[in-house]
Structure 1
Amino acid sequence: MSFSPLLLASLLSPLSFTGAVWQNKDTHALEGTGRGLEGLNGQYSALKARKNLNKIRQRRYNSLQARHRDLLQQDLSMLRIEKVDRKNYKIQLTDHRSEYTGPIEIGTPGQGLDCIFDTGSSMAWVFSTKCRSSMCDMHTQFDATKSSTYSGSTTEMHITFGTGSLRGVLAKDTVSLGGMSLHDQGFGEILQPIGSVFQLDFDGICGMSYRMSKNVNASLLEGIERSSSLSEKSFTFYFGEKEAALVLGKAGRSLVNNQKMTWYPVTRQFYWESTLKDVKVGGKSILSTYSEGEISAVFDTGTSVLTMPTEDAGNTMALLQSSGVTCDMIEAGKAPKICYEFEGLDSICIRNWYERSIEGCTASLMTLDLTQENVFILGQPFFNEFITTFDVGNNRIGVAPVRS
């Protein structure tokens, strides 16, 4: 497992506008509301009053019931076929401000855990009852002794993150995501977490990137790809104002608002990344001489901010400050956008690249320098504006605006 920006971005403060006068504006929390179906009782009453129709319905019901009984006796297993033919599985995500989590189950019977779904790492890691650190007591822990399908090992791994590290052991068990079961799926049990990042509100990390270690056969993405439950080998993240969700399999048209997606090819099967041509703020390039050569955009749900190499981030802040941007301008949609340009494809322009606070507005931007790599990470500010499909079967990333 390689370095994931997830943990680094969860804690480090984003860059601030030095010397800029930003006026804070009161905002209200976005609240989702549900609406029940109305009027069905009245319609049903009207139908019920029609005796002839009721007789027809009863005959049809008896006929269908007999037919279904016959099919079951013939062992056609209609219910199992219906489950296998299911096209997608939906996982509701919960916003914890610094990260989103969703429910998974591990073991038989399933043990529920809330995990971060991270496209910037490749393995699933969960807190284990084998852990003796008091930090593990802050989380729900997986208990291997309660699972009849658990298979342990003595293979240990030491992982270093930007803000901490962990020691764990590899294992296999049934992992269920939104009702889809992956049997004999490899994952890691956390035995010793080090760092304040593990005090955040999650029970594990579900890495959904390409395999990052040839020696470790525990890629969650490969498990999803092998599953026969999905008609399409893809998954989609959606972060709307009223709902956030992960859909495994083909996402419905209503989710993408009937807009055609732009597809960006995966240029290296490590991160979910695609080659960039340029990055601009207000139409001006921010690339420094440091960024000469190939640069790439990494689509990472585990990072809470946008990241750039240090010099490029400095150029970005300078251009934003020189434009005289204020909170009012940003919220009115009049501030410069950060645009990522791709060769021969539509640019991705982010307008909500800031965070509101009591003091004003702060850029959701962080510096990140990787050795011999010019990487621009598209984190949560990007996902808040775009629905994103990760197409495993065709090694591409689909992007379309979130429904307004």
Structure 2
Amino acid sequence: MARCQLKAMALLAGILICMGVATQAAQAALHRISVQRAPNFKRTHKNIVAERDFVQQKYRLNTANGYPVEPLSNYDNFQYYGNISIGTPAQYFLVQFDTGSSNLWVPASNCSSTACLDHQTYNLSQSSTFAANGTPFSITYGTGSVSGFLAADNVGFAGLTVQGQTFGAVTTEQGTNFVDAYFDGILGMGFPALAADGVTPTFQNLVSQGLVQSPVFSFFLRDNGSTVNYGGELILGGSDPSLYVGGLTYTNVIQAEYWKFQTDYIKIGSTIVSTYDAAIADTGTSLIIAPLAEYTLIAALFNANSDGLFQCTSLSSVPDLVIVINAVEFRIPAKYYIIQEGDYCALSIQSINQDFWIMGDVFLGRFYTEFDVGNQRLGFAPVNSADSLRGTALWKILVVVLPCGMWKLMN
């Protein structure tokens, strides 16, 4: 028996060593950047309506100047943001990593707007790698606008540095919505066709400059956690299987501007509310946005008004929202798509009268998402919500492998 125990212990040690080597090799190709979320966030009916109005502007093009319209959410909205650097020596900024747009912009040092004074600004005269461009840059929002000029400089994040990235240096921010934002600007991660002025997006430059092993990035967004500000991770160069459960369900992008894909159907309980509708995976939106006809049907199920507000007593009997993608069900429990405030509830599903769905953080916070640029596809899997993510993945394997090994040794 002692000999068998020693053999078992040796087998376990070997398994751990091999797994450690394999894990290190797999992780070496990945580059991570932690994303934060606004502290003390609590979703309310008021900021649901505000976010809906912002998204309505984002998905309409400003036909007067050809620039995409994007929202910068106020501090109450449930957005994710992280650190980047621009210039040499590095100047640091918090940006929202937004898969629903394709341009990078931050405030410039010569911006005198109130919002600029409260945020980090880019000083081109202090960067030895700055390159002038001079093309005017402007983006319009539902509650204001930003404008400035295009510049080029080195941009770093997740331990990588893109050489000569073109971005917007903002000199004017109009609208009170910018003042209280926790982040300074936006880093768009959509496709090049969506970018203003033909600017190559940051991730595409990461790929073309050989900085990532694979043309893939992925998001793990936490909607709950023991650390208040920890919002998850943006991973460049691939995916981390320890952060999700099971395998990824892939679906092709049907329009390489936004990250647009096709759903099979969407239902609440036994009621099918959508069939074969297109949807966009958008990390820059906190809600789920439905086409108007589908939203009207959903609102009728709950007897909700046009803002998604209805009387309620409990969510315990409310069915899941089920989104079927490539024949796989992705379930969102009621507590994630409905908020309760006293005797009233509010849907975190809204409408901006578009003909496609927008899957924001209500969806993406429940499902790990891989954005495969090279193959123009998306992969989804339920997030691993265990406290010790990588440890959990390790023990799942040990539970299977170790008994088999010990049985062989002892027989």
**TM-score scaled by length of structure 2:** 0.69
Q: Work out whether residues 152 and 164 of structure 2, in 8 Å CA contact, stay in contact via their aligned partners in 1.
A: yes
Q: Which piece of structure 1 moves more, 210-219 or 164-173?
A: 210-219
CA drift of 1:345 comes to 2.9
Give the SS at the match of 2:198: coil
Matched-pair contact (CA < 8 Å) for 2:370–2:378: yes
CA contact (8 A) 2:288 2:360 kept: yes
Work out which of the residue numbers 367, 373, 383 in structure 2 matches 1:392.
373
Amino acid at match of 1:301: T
Whether contact under 8 Å (1:87, 1:229) holds in the other structure is no
Match of 1:329 in 2: 315
Conserved 8 A contact 1:106-1:112: yes
Please list, as runs of the form range in 1=range in 2, the aligned pairs for 1:305-344 lying within 5 A after superposition.
Answer: 305-321=287-303, 326=312, 328-330=314-316, 334-342=317-325, 344=326
**C-alpha displacement at 1:305, in angstroms?**
0.8
Shift of 1:359: 6.4
Q: Larger deviation: 353-362 or 149-158? A: 353-362
1:121 and 1:166 map into 2 onto residues whose CA distance is 15
Q: Report whether the alignment pairs 1:105 with 2:88.
A: no
Q: Does structure 1 residue 95 correspond to structure 2 residue 37?
A: yes
Residue number in structure 2 paired with 1:355: 339
Q: Match of 2:31, as an amino acid? A: Y
Please report how far the alpha carbon of residue 191 of structure 1 lies from its aligned counterpart in structure 2 after TM superposition: 1.5
Deviation at 1:119, TM superposition (A): 0.4
Q: Structure 2: which amino acid aligns with 1:297? A: A
Aligned to 1:280: 267
In structure 1, C-alpha distance between the alignment counterparts of 2:128 and 2:250, rounded to whole Å = 42
The answer for the alignment partner of 2:240 in structure 1 is 252
Q: What is aligned with 1:346?
A: 328
Q: Which one of 152, 176, 187 corresponds to residue 206 of structure 1?
A: 187
In the alignment, residue 370 of structure 2 is paired with which amino acid?
Answer: T
Report deviation, 1:278.
2.9
SS of aligned partner of 2:315: helix
Number of residue pairs matched by the alignment: 307
Summarize the alignment of residues 224-303 of structure 1 with structure 2, pairs less than 5 Å apart: 224-240=206-222, 241-242=224-225, 243=230, 244-257=232-245, 259-287=246-274, 295-303=277-285
Contact 2:264 2:327 in 1 (8 A): no
Q: Deviations over 1:276-299 (max 9, x none)?
A: 343322221224xxxx9x731100
SS in 1 for 2:146: strand
CA contact (8 A) 2:339 2:348 kept: yes
Partner Cα distance (1:321, 1:396) in 2: 37
Which one-letter code corresponds to 1:400 in the other structure? A
CA distance in 1, matches of 2:312, 2:343: 12
Q: 1:359 to 1:189 in 2, by over 3 A?
A: farther
Is this contact kept in 2: 1:281–1:320, CA < 8 A? Answer: no
1:380 and 2:380 aligned: no
Instruction: Compute the displacement of 1:227 (Å).
Output: 3.6
Partner of 2:134: 154
What SS does structure 2 have at the residue aligned with 1:382? helix
- CA deviation map 1:225-272 (0-9, x unaligned): 224232221111112333411111123321224x11101111110000
Match of 1:179 in 2: 159
Which whole-Å CA distance do the structure 2 matches of 1:361 and 1:387 have between them? 27
Listed one character per residue, the Cα deviations across residues 140-189 of structure 1 (whole Å, up to 9, x for unaligned) are 11111111001122200222233332212111110001111111111111
Which amino acid is the alignment partner of residue 249 of structure 1? Answer: G
CA drift at 1:378: 0.5
State the partner residue of 1:57.
Answer: none
Displacement of 1:320: 3.2
**Amino acid aligned to 1:93:** V
TM-score by length of 1: 0.70
CA distance in 1, matches of 2:138, 2:178: 15
**Following the alignment from structure 1 to structure 2, what is the Cα–Cα distance between the partners of residues 118 and 101?**
9
One-letter code of the match for 1:105? S
Q: Distance in 1 between matches of 2:251 and 2:176?
A: 35
Q: Where do 5+ consecutive residues of structure 1 fail to align?
A: 1-81
Write the distance in 2 (CA, Å) between the matches of 1:358 and 1:246. 35
CA 369–225 in structure 1, closer or farther in 2 if over 3 Å, else same: farther
Larger radius of gyration: 1
Flag the structure with more relative contact order, 1 or 2, with Cα contacts below 8 A and sequence separation at least 6. 1
C-alpha distance in structure 1 between counterparts of 2:196 and 2:234, whole Å: 27
Aligned to 2:47: none
1:401 aligns with 2:382: yes
Q: CA deviation at 1:109?
A: 0.9
- Whether contact under 8 Å (2:103, 2:199) holds in the other structure is no
* Distance (Å, rounded) in 2 between the aligned partners of 1:160 and 1:309: 23
Alignment of 1:112-191 (within 5 A): 112-191=92-171
Q: 1 or 2, which has the higher helix percentage?
A: 2
Amino acid at match of 2:151: A
Cα RMSD of the aligned pairs, angstroms, is: 2.4
| Uncovered stretches (5+) of structure 2, i.e. residues with no partner | 1-23, 42-76, 305-309, 386-411
Checking the alignment, whether the CA contact within 8 Å between 1:86 and 1:230 is kept in structure 2 is no
For 1:214 and 1:148, how far apart are their aligned partners in 2?
26
Query: How far apart, CA to CA, are the structure 2 residues paired with 1:215 and 1:169?
Result: 11
> Corresponding residue for 2:60?
none
